[in-house]
Amino acid sequence: MKWIFSEPTIYIIYFLAFAFFLKKVFSFDIGLIQGLIVSALITIFTFTYIYFKFNAGSHSLEITDEKIIFKDDQYETHINQADYQGYRITRFLPHRVEIKNKIYGETSFSYYAFPPEQRRQIFKLLDAY
């Protein structure tokens, strides 16, 4: 199944559904100004959280004939062609790409770390590897 929403958008939809559920379960009456202030604070907190949670910095994936090199802000992983055991995309949110390796186990990164066109190219190269 292909999602048309980005991962942060899906979290916001979950948040809104949960807020709607809470409103139905815990019905209380507050004034318009208080409701707007609470909504604004929750919205600011949510967007601040999403900004810091998904601000992962730069990622790079280099696929050569000899090895796959994945770099992010903290790690650099080298996977030799002989050690490569395939990849998979996790089913549940947050979606992740896991590259399997005989030596280190799995190297994973967010499915959304690369734009859609680059993802298609990456998966095509990994399928042919």
Residue 99 pLDDT greater than 70, yes or no: yes
Q: What does the block give as tokens for 59?
A: 């990622």
Given this structure, which CATH class describes domain 60-128? mainly beta
- For the chain, give the mean pLDDT: 79
User: pLDDT tens digit string along 38-79?
Assistant: 777 787 888 888 777 766 567 788 998 899 998 887 788 899
Nearest to 87 by CA among 74, 78, 77, 96: 96
Sign of the dihedral defined by the CA atoms of residues 110, 113, 116, 119, in that order: negative
